[in-house]
Chains A and B, each alone.
Chain A
Amino acid sequence: MLMVITFFLSMILAFASFFMGKKARLFSIASAWLMAILVGIYIYMTFGGGYHGGIVSQYNFQIAPSIGISFTTGVTGFTGALIALSAVIILVSLMVVEKDSENSIYGLILSTEVGLFGLLISRNFLFFYIFWEVVLIPMYFLIIRFGGAKRDRVGLKFFVYTHIGSVFILLAFFTLYNYYYLSTGEFTLDMGTLMNTAFITGHIPVFWRDFMLFGFLIGFLVKLPSFPVHSWLPDTYQTAPYPGTIILAGGLSLMGGYGLFGILLPASGIFSSTLLYFLAFLGILSLVYFSFVAMFQKDIKRMMAFASAAAMGFVTISFAVGILEHSYTQVLELSGGMFQIIAHGFIMALIFASLYYIRRNTGSEMTYGLGGIYREAPLLSSFMLAGLFASLGLPGLAGFIGEFSIVVGVYQGITWWIFFIILGMIVTASYHVWVAQRALYGPYNEHLGHIRDINRKEFATLCGLLVLIFVLGVFPNLLDGLLTAYVGGLI
C-alpha cells in the first residue's frame, strides 16, 4: 500500500509544484527527497526480508471491471529496482536545473516521475499505456521550453517518433484483449492474465500473434532505443536541457527495458527463434554501430547519447539470447540485462550531471573546447572520470557487472558472434578513455581562464551517485538477488 500512496502523493506534489512560484525549487527538491525516502522504505520493507519471485503489493481499485478496466498495482523485484532508479534519477535531475530557470521546469520534472511510477506499478494495460504517454508530455515541454538550439524541431521529432512507437503498443494489447474476450467471453486488461504463453499460443492465430509482438517490440525498441528506430535519440539528448537528458538516459531507457523484461519476458514462450536471433542481431548491431558513431562525435553530450544507446544494445542482446537458450546461463544473462538497465541509469546520471557542471563552469561541452580541466577543477574531473570508467565497464563499478554477465552468458547462445560484442566493447573503451584523456587531462586549455570547481552541495550529489555505482559494483548481490529471484520465478 505504501507504494500506491507514494504514487498518489507524487501526483499531488507534482501538481502542487506548478503553483509554488518562487518556492518551486525548494518544494520540488523536498518532494523528490520525500519520494526517494518513501520508495527506499517501501523497498526495504517489501524486499528486505527476502524475495522469491512473483508479484507483491497487489492491489485492485475497480473502475469498470465488467470491461476489464481496473487500476491494478503490483511490484516485482525488477520493477522495485526500477522505481528506486527513477526516484534517484528525478532527484539528480532536479539538482542540475539551472538556478534562473522558469519555475515550471520543476513541475515538469516531477510530472515525469508520476508517469514513471505509474507505469511501473500498473498491472493493467490501459493504465500502463496512459502513464507511458504521460511521461512524454512533460518531456516534450521540457525540451521546447528549456532546450538548446533547434529545440522546436527536435522536440516535435522526439514526441512524434516516440508517440508512434507508443500507439503500436495500444494496438498490441487491443489484440490480446479482443482474443481473450473471444476465447473466454470475459474482458480483461490485466497484464498477468494476458501476457501468458499458454493463452497466447493457444488462442491467438499466428498472424495476430505476430501483429501483437510487432506492436510491442516497436513500442519498446523506440524507447530503448535500438538500431533502426533510434534517429530521435542524438538530437533529443543534445538539445534537451541537462535535467531532461538525465531523464531521457535513465528514464526512457528504463521504460524500454521494463517493456522487454517486465512485460514481454513473462510470455517468453511466444517468441520464435528466428525473431530472437533477429533481436540479438539488432542488439549487436546497435552496440557496434552506436559505438563507432560515438567515436566520431565532437560534442561530449552527443557522444554520451550514443554511448547510452550502445549500452542498451547489451540489454536487447541479453533479452533475446536469454530467452533463446535454455541452459544454466539463462538466469545469469537475463538478470545481467536487467542489471545493465539499472546500472546504466545511475551511470548516465553521474556522467550527465558532471558534464552539466563542466559545461556550466567552463562554458563548453566539446572535446576540443575543453582540455586539462583537472588542473583547475580536480574534484569535478574525478567524478567525470569515474562516470566514464563506470560506463566503459571497469570492474568494481556497476557497469561491469551487467556487461560481464551478459558476455559470459550469451557465449552459449551465439558463439562466434561474441566477437562483435567484444569489438563494440573495445571501441566503447577507446573513446571513453580518449575523452577522459583529451578533455580532462593533458595540457590545460588556457582560453578557459580560471574555472571554478564544484561546491559542497554539488559534491554531495555526485558523490551520492558514485557511492551507489560503487556499492552496486562491489556488492552486486544487493540488486542481483532481486533480479535473479524475479527471473527464477518466471522460468
Chain B
Amino acid sequence: MIVNSFITELALNTGLSNLNYLYPLFLLGIVAFVILAIGIRIENPRLFASITAGALAIVFFWLYFLPGNPNLVMSGTTIYNRYGTYFAMIMILASLLVVFPAARRLSKKADIFYAILLFVNIGIIIASFSYNILVMFVSFEAVSIGTYIMAAFGKEKRHLEASLKYFFTSTIATAFTAFGASFFYISTGTFDLTAGLKVSSFQSMDIALLFLAVGFGFKMAIFPMHQWAIDTYDGAENSIAAYLSTGSKILAFVVILKIFLVGFSGDFEVVFYLFTILAIASMTYGNIAALSQDNLKRILAYSSVAQVGYLILVLAQVSYVGNTSSHAVTLAVATGMYYSVVYIFMKGGAFLTMNIVKKDKVEISDVTGLFRKSPAVAVSFSILLLALAGIPVTGGFFAKYNLFLALITGQLWWLAVIAILNSAISVFYYFRVILYMFKDPVGETDFNLSTSVRIPVIATAFITVGLGVAFQMVYLLMSVAPGLFG
C-alpha cells in the first residue's frame, strides 16, 4: 500500500508519465558511452564524428516530433514547449556544425572529444527547457565543464593556456551564479523562476539579479566580463572556438532570457537599466576594440562581444515595455530567436573559415589574395562578414532589421540609434578583412583549401543567405515566442 502510493507519487513528481521527453537525452548519453567504449580499440576520428553527427541528427528530429503542447517534466522544473524545443534544436545545429571540421585536427583521443560533445548537448537540452534556477545551474555547469576540456584539445600548449584561462574565470563566474541563486531563493522561497512573477521588488532580489547577471554575463562574454573569451577563442582550435562562440554563448543567452525576463519580472526596471548599460557597453567596446586588431581571430572574438551586445538588447526592450503579452515583446523575443540561429551560422562559419590559414595565429594579412586562390571561399567568407555587418539579403540583415524594428516598436528610439551607429562602426573591421581578401597577393601565400575546409565555409554562407531569403521565419517564431514566459 505504502509502496504503491510512493510509486504514484514518484510518478507524479518526477513526471514519469512524461518520460518520453527524456528519451532523446538517454540516447545521447548511451551513444556517448558507446563511443568511449569503442575508443579503447579504435582511433578513427571520422568514425566517431559520423556516430556523433548521427546521434545529434536523430535527436534533432526527435525533439521536433515530440508533442509541442507545454508539459511539465522532472518534478515541474522543466517545461517542454515549442520555445525550448527551438533553442535546443538550433544549439544541436551548432554542435553539428563543428562535428566534422573538428575531426581534422584530432588525431588522438577523438573518442573523448566526441563523447564530451554529446554530454554537453545533454546539458544544453536540459538547460534550454528548464525553468528552475537550480536545474539550470547544474546543467549549465555540465556544459561548462565539458567545454573546458574541449578548449584544451589540440596539439599545442597554446590550447592548454586558453583552456586554463577559460576554466579559472568561469569557475569564479560559477561562484557568482551560485551566490545569486541562493539570494533568489531567499527572496522568493523557491528556485522556480515562474514564482518570481508573484514577487515584488526586494533588496535581496536586486542582489540576486546583480550576481546572476555577473555570473551568466561571464559565460556569455558580455563586456566587462569578456576578456577570457578573447583569449580563449584566439587560443582554442578553430572549430572549438566556433563552438564556444556559438553553442555555449547562445545557451547563456537562453538562460539569461529566462532568468531575467521570467524570474525577475517584478523587477523589470532594474533589469532594464542593467541590460541597457551592458548592451551599450558591450556593443561599443566590442566594435571599437575590434577596429584596432590585426589578429583575425581576435577580431572575430571582439565582434562576438559586440554581437552579444545586440542580442541582449532584447532583454532591454522586453523589460522596458513590460507587458509580456504585447506585440512589441513578442516581436523582440522572436527576433532574439531568429538572431540566435543566424548568429550560429554566421559566426560559426567565420571561425571555421580560419582553417584555411595554415597557422595557429591568424593575422588579417594572412588572407591576402584569397580571392585569387579560391573565389568561392573568398566570396563565401565575404558573405559571412557581410552578414555579421548586417548588410541586406543575408540573414544578418534581417536579424538586425527585426531587432531595430523591435526597439522602435518598443519606443526605444535612442537605443535603436546607438545600435545602428554601432552596426555602422562594425562595417569598418568586417570590410577590412574583405579588403585583404580581394587584394592581389604580394608574395606566394599558402592556403589550406582541401574540400573538408571549403565545404563548411560555403555551406554556412549558403545557409546565411538562405535564412535571409526565408526571413518570414521571424513571423512564424512570433507564435512560439510567448513560450518564453511559460
Measured CB to CB, the residues of A under 8 A from B are: 63-64, 66-67, 69, 126, 129-130, 133-134, 137, 140-141, 144-145, 152, 155-156, 159-160, 163-164, 167-168, 170-171, 174-175, 177-178, 181, 208, 211
Contact = CB atoms under 8 A, between A and B. Distances in A.
B435 A167 contact: no
Given A141-B438, A181-B327, 11 more contacts: A64-B475, A130-B393, A133-B391, A134-B393, A137-B386, A144-B435, A152-B435, A164-B420, A171-B404, A174-B416, A181-B409
B405 interface: yes
Contact of B404 (A63, A141, A156, A174): A174
Interface string B382-405: 000010000111000100010011
A140 B431 contact: yes
Contacts of A140: 431
Given A137-B386, A167-B420, A170-B404, A156 B392 contact: no
26 contacts: A66-B475, A130-B397, A133-B392, A133-B397, A134-B392, A137-B386, A137-B391, A141-B438, A144-B434, A152-B439, A155-B431, A155-B435, A160-B424, A163-B424, A164-B420, A164-B421, A167-B420, A168-B420, A170-B420, A171-B404, A174-B408, A177-B405, A178-B405, A178-B408, A178-B409, A208-B413
A156 B420 contact: no
Given A141-B438, A178-B408, A160 B427 contact: yes
B313 to A, nearest CB: 14
B157 interface: no
Contacts, number: 73
Interface of B: 327, 386, 391-393, 397, 401, 404-405, 408-409, 413, 416-417, 420-421, 423-424, 427-428, 431-432, 434-435, 438-439, 472, 475
Chain A CB count within 10 A is highest, among B392, B417, B427, for B392
Enumerate the 5 nearest inter-chain pairs by beta-carbon distance, A residue then B residue, closest first. A174-B408, A130-B392, A133-B392, A164-B424, A64-B472
A209 to B, nearest CB: 12
Nearest to B476: A64
B391 A156 contact: no
A155 B435 CA distance: 9
A208 B392 CA distance: 25
A22 to B, nearest CB: 16
Nearest to A67: B475
Given A134-B392, A155-B435, A164-B424, A171 B475 contact: no
A130 B439 CA distance: 27
A256 to B, nearest CB: 18
A172 to B, nearest CB: 10
A164 B439 CA distance: 25
Nearest to A140: B431
B294 to A, nearest CB: 15
Chain B CB count within 10 A is highest, among A63, A159, A167, for A167
B427 A171 contact: no
A175 B392 CA distance: 19
Contacts of A64: 472, 475
B431 A171 contact: no
Given A133-B392, A140-B431, A145 B438 contact: yes
Contacts of B421: 164
A391 to B, nearest CB: 33
B427 A159 contact: yes
Contacts of A152: 435, 439
Contacts of B404: 170-171, 174
Contacts of B472: 63-64, 69
A167 B401 CA distance: 9
B413 A167 contact: no
A156 B386 contact: no
Contacts of B435: 144, 152, 155-156
A171 B392 contact: no
A167 B424 contact: yes
Contacts of A164: 420-421, 424
A236 B410 CA distance: 38
B393 A171 contact: no
Nearest to A130: B392
Chain B CB count within 10 A is highest, among A134, A174, A208, for A174
A178 B327 CA distance: 11
A308 B170 CA distance: 58
Nearest to B414: A211
B307 to A, nearest CB: 17
B428 A156 contact: yes
A160 B408 CA distance: 23
Contacts of B432: 156
Contacts of B392: 129-130, 133-134
Contacts of B439: 152
Contacts of B434: 144
A249 to B, nearest CB: 23
Contacts of A159: 427, 431
A177 B416 CA distance: 15
Nearest to A126: B401
A156 to B, nearest CB: 6
Nearest to B474: A67
B172 to A, nearest CB: 38
A441 B421 CA distance: 49
A194 B413 CA distance: 19
Contact of A160 (B393, B397, B428, B475): B428
B407 to A, nearest CB: 8
Contacts of A171: 404, 408, 413, 416-417, 420
Contacts of A181: 327, 409
Contacts of B405: 174, 177-178
A163 B438 CA distance: 20
Nearest to B372: A102
Contact of A163 (B393, B408, B427, B475): B427
Nearest to A170: B404
Contacts of B413: 171, 175, 208, 211
Nearest to B436: A152
A354 B180 CA distance: 72
A177 B408 CA distance: 9
Contact of A170 (B327, B386, B401): B401
Nearest to A182: B409
Contacts of A63: 472
Contacts of B423: 167
Contacts of B393: 130, 134
A63 B476 CA distance: 13
B472 to A, nearest CB: 4
A130 B468 CA distance: 11
A130 B405 CA distance: 15
Nearest to B429: A156
Nearest to A185: B327
